[in-house]
A and B are shown apart, each in its own frame.
Chain A
Amino acid sequence: MENYSLPPKQEKSIWKRSKRIIIALFVIALYVWTFVGIDIDWGRALERVISNFDRVIPKLFSPDWTAVGEVGVKIAETVLIAFAGSFMAAILAIPLGFLAAQNMTGSKILATIGKWILSAVRAFPDIILAILFVVAVGPNAFAGVLAIAIGSTGMLGKLYSEVIEAIDMKVVEAMEANGANKIQILFYGVLPQIIPEFLSYAIYRFEIDIRASSILGIVGAGGIGTMIIFAANNRNWNEMGLILLAIIIVVTIIDFISARIRRKIV
């Protein structure tokens, strides 16, 4: 009689198995800590939501069209903040990207330092940067531009360095062998390989920055966020409805355009 049983399972090493167990225990401990630690006042929340529901939700869906002019100006400002910030970041990230790419600097230490700088920058949420810049340059849109610029540099620099590390080094070597100098190698060997992807990432980051800059106003850094916080404080939910609509429309349009451009470039 033939044997129809499954083939024997691969023997897992003790190390692999114990690693899994450790991770599982860690996760369970995390959940216990979370659900013991958190306290939500369900009764009060329920009470509030019952009394507030009619005052908030229907109004969000009937936007206050009289504010259309003001919202238009502010959303345009949001786009400008995001654009100026992304542009600055796209430039600032280039030297950092080259610094963090090991095949360009040639030394592991420099590349590691570059990577550390970039991840340190990335760890700051945009809003925290905005708070710092609002204190530094005052509550205006330029604080938002600076926050977006610094915040985006971290991510763009990392993506740039990955692009640079992935280039075809044979081209560079061939040019070196033919006696090209550093500048020539950079312009004819490296740049043509990286520019399309750099551009594509910069445009992608602009998409993210549109979302980010729409909330910077909450801490006073200009853009539509200023109106969000006013509308919420005044419980003007009709206006909030219009603001939401404006954000949804602008973000969708920019995402659409940026996706088309990126598909064309790469």
Chain B
Amino acid sequence: MTKNTTGGGKTPALYPVKTKVQITIIFFIVLGFYLFSMVWTQREMVGGLGDALGNMLVVIEKFFPPNLEVIPKVWGEMAQTIQMAIIATTAAAILTVPLAILSAQNVTTFKPLYYLTRTLLNILRTIPDLVLAVIFVGLFGIGVLPGILALFIFSLGILAKLISETIESVDMNPLEAMRASGGNVYQVIFFGLVPQVLPQFTSFVLYVFEINIRASVVLGLVGAGGIGLVLDQQLGFYNYQNAMAIIILIFVVVIVIEYISNKLREALI
């Protein structure tokens, strides 16, 4: 400090030296790990990065111009995809209520039950939706049902967590006041709890619906129904222009649904 105040012309350092050294070390570790992962992931590549990037342009040209004539032919599959997402979201929204209540700390005062549901939900959330779909296809065979089930299980994990957190953050004072002035259990739930949770609940359900739409378009890749199946076939036949048209259709549908869902959310809250 004295050095700076005696007019050395040097401004004091913004951060202490120790922090600087720490941050530098962490930075180099992260950078090193990044370089290592780049080398590792490119080790199987024939011809290295340069070739691949050159090749990329050649291949991307094959996707253009997209053959838009296939779009009317795949409407049925696209509709099926959206229907899968709707059914899965609805089922998850209904079943999440008891689960969310069980995993909310302020409602479920019986600790072991709370920890059990929490742990189960945490494990459920770590499994990606497509992996669930692969397993369900193994169980039920190719079709729409395994896709719906995979989406359902996956969104149940997310929804139950989000909603249990909402329930935990509920203001308990109005509920107590109602109980004190003689409201019965149902009255307390319907006039105290539900109005506090409902807007968040709808908003989360719509959010999960958006996630499900995005997930359902690719479920077909593993045989779980929807537009992904057609996409997979077209890619398998090297019909890149048809595939591009389907990708564009998916893109447009996802954007439109997200827009509608956003508007609905704004209108409801």
A residues contacting B by CB (< 8 A) are 19, 23, 30-31, 33-35, 37-42, 44-45, 48-49, 52-53, 56-57, 60, 77, 80-81, 83-84, 87, 119-120, 123-125, 127-128, 131-132, 135-138, 140-142, 144-145, 211-212, 214-215, 218-219, 222, 225, 228-229, 232, 235, 237, 240, 244, 247-248, 251-252, 255
* Pairwise interchain contact B222-A229, C-beta atoms closer than 8 A: yes
Of the candidates B87, B134, B145, which one forms a contact with A232 in the assembled complex, judged by CB atoms under 8 Å apart? B134
Contact call A247/B128, Cβ cutoff below 8 A? yes
The chain B residue with its CB closest to the CB of A88 is B34
Q: List B contacts of A255 (CB < 8 A).
A: 126
Which residues on A sit within 8 Å (CB–CB) of B215? 125
Residues of A within 8 A of B247 (CB): 124, 128, 132
Contact A237 B138 (CB under 8 A): yes
Q: Which B-chain residue is minimally distant from A250 (CB atoms)?
A: B126
Is A80 a contact of B41 with CB atoms below 8 Å?
yes
Which residue of chain B is the closest to A222 with respect to CB atoms?
B41
Complex alpha-carbon distance, A177 and B35, angstroms: 42
Contact of B45 among A33, A135, A142 (CB under 8 A): A142
Contact present for B131 and A252 (CB under 8 Å): no
Q: Among B40, B135, B143, B148, which residue has its beta carbon within 8 angstroms of that of A80?
A: B40
- Partner pick for A142 among B34, B41, B138, B250, CB 8 A cutoff: B41
Q: Are A135 and B240 in contact (CB under 8 A)?
A: yes
With both beta carbons as reference points, the residue of chain A lying nearest to B228 in the complex is identified as: A127
What would be 9 A-B contacts, judged by CB atoms less than 8 Å apart?
Answer: A41-B145, A131-B231, A136-B52, A137-B53, A138-B45, A141-B40, A141-B44, A218-B221, A222-B41
Chain B residues with Cβ below 8 Å from A39 are 144
B59 beta carbon closer than 8 Å to chain A: yes
Whether B163 sits at the interface, judged by CB under 8 Å, is: no
Task: Establish whether residues B41 and A247, one from each chain, have CB atoms under 8 Å apart when the complex forms.
Answer: no
Known: A45-B141, A52-B139. A248 touches B222 (CB 8 A): no
CB of B264 within 8 Å of the partner chain: yes
A60 to B139, CA, bound (A): 12
Q: Are B41 and A137 in contact (CB under 8 A)?
A: no
Instruction: Contacts A23-B267, A248-B127 given; indicate if A229 touches B86 (C-beta within 8 A).
Output: no
Nearest-Cβ distance from residue B75 to partner chain A, whole angstroms:
11
Is residue B122 contacting chain A, with contact meaning CB distance below 8 A?
yes
Contact of A40 among B134, B145, B250, B264 (CB under 8 A): B145
Whole-angstrom distance between the alpha carbons of A136 and B143 in the complex? 30
User: Contacts A30-B86, A38-B144, A125-B217 known; A87 to B41 CB distance under 8 Å?
Assistant: no
Interchain CB contact under 8 A, B38 and A84: yes
Check B52 against A138 for contact (C-beta < 8 Å): yes
**Residues of chain A lying within 8 A (CB to CB) of residue B53:** 137
- Pairwise interchain contact B42-A142, C-beta atoms closer than 8 A: yes
Residues of B within 8 Å of A19, CB to CB, are 267
Question: B180: which A residues are within 8 A, CB to CB?
Answer: none
In the bound complex, how far is the Cα of B87 from the Cα of A147, in angstroms?
A: 29
Task: Determine if A215 and B135 form an interchain contact, defined as CB atoms under 8 angstroms apart.
Answer: no
- A225–B131 Cα distance when bound, in Å, is 8
Write the chain B residue with the least CB distance to A248: B126
B86 & A34 in contact (Cβ 8 Å cutoff) = yes
Whether B33 pairs with A83 at a CB distance below 8 angstroms is yes
The 6 A-B residue pairs with the shortest CB-CB distance, nearest first, are A141-B41, A80-B37, A251-B126, A84-B37, A136-B56, A137-B52
Rounded to whole angstroms, the CA-CA distance of A136 and B268 in the bound complex is 44
Q: Quick one: CB contact mask for B229-257 with A, threshold 8 Å, 1 for yes?
A: 00100010000100100010011001100
Smallest beta-carbon distance B156→chain A, Å:
16
Contact of A145 among B38, B138, B221, B240 (CB under 8 A): B38
Known: A30-B86, A37-B79, A252-B123. 11 other contacts (CB 8 A): A38-B80, A40-B148, A45-B143, A125-B215, A128-B218, A128-B231, A136-B59, A137-B56, A142-B45, A248-B127, A255-B126
Contact B267 A81 (CB under 8 A): no
What residue of chain A has the Cβ atom nearest to residue B52's Cβ? Answer: A137
Q: How far is the CB of A35 from chain B (nearest CB, A)?
A: 8
A38 and B87: CB pair below 8 A? yes
- Measured in the bound complex, the distance between the Cα atoms of B86 and A179 in whole Å is 57
A212 touches B128 (CB 8 A): yes
Rounded to whole angstroms, the CA-CA distance of A48 and B221 in the bound complex is 20
